[in-house]
Amino acid sequence: MRHLLSTHDLSRGAAIQILDTAEEMAAVTEREVKKLPALRGRTVVNLFFEDSTRTRISFEAAAKRLSADVINFAAKGSSVSKGESLKDTAQTLEAMSADAVVIRHGSSGAPQRLADSGWIDAAVINAGDGTHEHPTQALLDAFTMRRHWSALRGIGSTGSDIAGLRIAIAGDVLHSRVARSNVWLLHTLGAEVTLVAPPTLLPLGVETWPCRVSYHLDETLEAGVDAVMMLRVQGERMHAAFFPSEREYSRRWGFDDARLARLDALGLKDTIIMHPGPMNRGLEISSAAADSPRSTVLEQVRNGVSVRMAALYLLLSGGLGDHPPADSGRTQDNSNRREADS
Ligand code: ASP
Ligand code: CP
């Protein structure tokens, strides 16, 4: 593979290769000297047309830990505000000999366009495009889950899998590229995903996705879950009213203090609470939940560096998907079950 654009088209072999390589990278980031010479002389451009804290910083840290040169480009303050096109911006960066372009863009499909256009030779990595995909977020989420369950089972993470785990992804699915990338990747890795959202925040066609759908967070928790991934309510993408009030949203779909206590009452002692960040504390997640020992929010951020090191290294060394572990293909059938009816 030359580019990393989505998890939809990522084979199980390539996904596991990234996760296993990320384990090796994690070992490096735990050393006193956190640097490898692997990408010395190569240039990574971070091309961010949308705001970011975690993704931009962790791609920068990842590239630097691999000894690459890094150019950070934010659309704000650039000639994009003078009307410069994506093509001209990309070619300007290409003229600076970029080997990899990490792009975040408000338009779904912009990274694909860049990869297909022939405007540039660099490897393209999607760092979040519109409401479409955010593949490295899903990979770092899977990495976090895999580490957690391997530790519980007392086995090493490398090569272990997350098949059969029950994952609830709850909240603003409609606007979430994180949800889309996670559904595809978790399905490929054999986990069982349930999306939980109000009907107004589910995309058209969700019944064709390889997951269950529910409108009721409490019912989903009661059925038993190994991880609950809360999604941010993406106000910046909402141009209409999608729920009656924030109070109502938080009561029905937020992970509040009562639901945190409920996990204990349900005997779900190993269930983790995830959030990609940034969080709206008090809306989709309470502070007690976000800061509880069950929360993996900061672990996810930490793991993001290792996963992005792995992605950059494999793409720039030309090795992604070349020697994948035995690929058993998608481990579940594509049957979809819409459970909720109201
Ligand atoms: N940071 C993630 C994204 O850019 C999730 C979010 O913003 O809610 O997609
Ligand atoms: N999770 C995530 O993508 O965070 P940022 O938007 O801060 O990069």
pLDDT tens track for 148-157: 999 998 998 8
- Pick from 46, 49, 50, 54 the residue to mutate for probing ligand 2's pocket: most ligand atoms within 8 Å of its CB: 54
Token representation of residue 227: 């991880």
The set of residues, in sequence order, having a beta carbon less than 8 Å from that of 269 and lying 6+ positions away, is: 263
Please count the structural domains in the chain: 2
Mean predicted confidence (pLDDT) in 13-24? 96
Residue 6 within any structural domain of the chain: no
Task: Tell how far the Cα of 339 is from the centroid of ligand 2, in angstroms.
Answer: 31
Helix (H) or strand (E) holding 123: strand 123-129
Residue 2 within any structural domain of the chain: no
Q: State in Å, rounded, how far the first CA of the chain is from the last one.
A: 43
Number of C-beta neighbours around residue 234 at 10 A = 18
pLDDT tier at 167, thresholds 50, 70, 90: very high
Whether residues 31 and 83 fall in one domain: yes
Calculate the CA 115 to chain-centre distance.
20
**Closest residue by Cα to residue 312 from 114, 36, 32, 96:** 36
Task: Tell how far the Cα of 51 is from the centroid of ligand 2, in angstroms.
Answer: 8
Mean predicted confidence (pLDDT) in 29-58? 94
Helix (H) or strand (E) holding 205: none
Residue 1 within any structural domain of the chain: no
Number of C-beta neighbours around residue 143 at 10 A = 25
Residue 4 within any structural domain of the chain: no
Among protein residues, the one whose CA lies closest to atom 4 of ligand 2: 54
Mean predicted confidence (pLDDT) in 266-286? 97
Given a contact cutoff of 8 angstroms between Cβ atoms, the answer to whether 183 and 167 are in contact is no
Whether residues 72 and 164 fall in one domain: no
Residue 333 has pLDDT above 60, yes or no: no
- Enumerate the H helices of the chain as residue ranges: 12-29, 54-65, 86-94, 110-117, 135-153, 177-188, 217-222, 246-253, 257-265, 287-290, 297-316
CATH of the domain at 327: 3.40.50.1370
Using only C-alpha atoms, the chain has a radius of gyration, in whole angstroms, of 20
Tens-place pLDDT, residues 228-249: 999 999 888 888 788 889 999 9
Token representation of residue 89: 């911006």
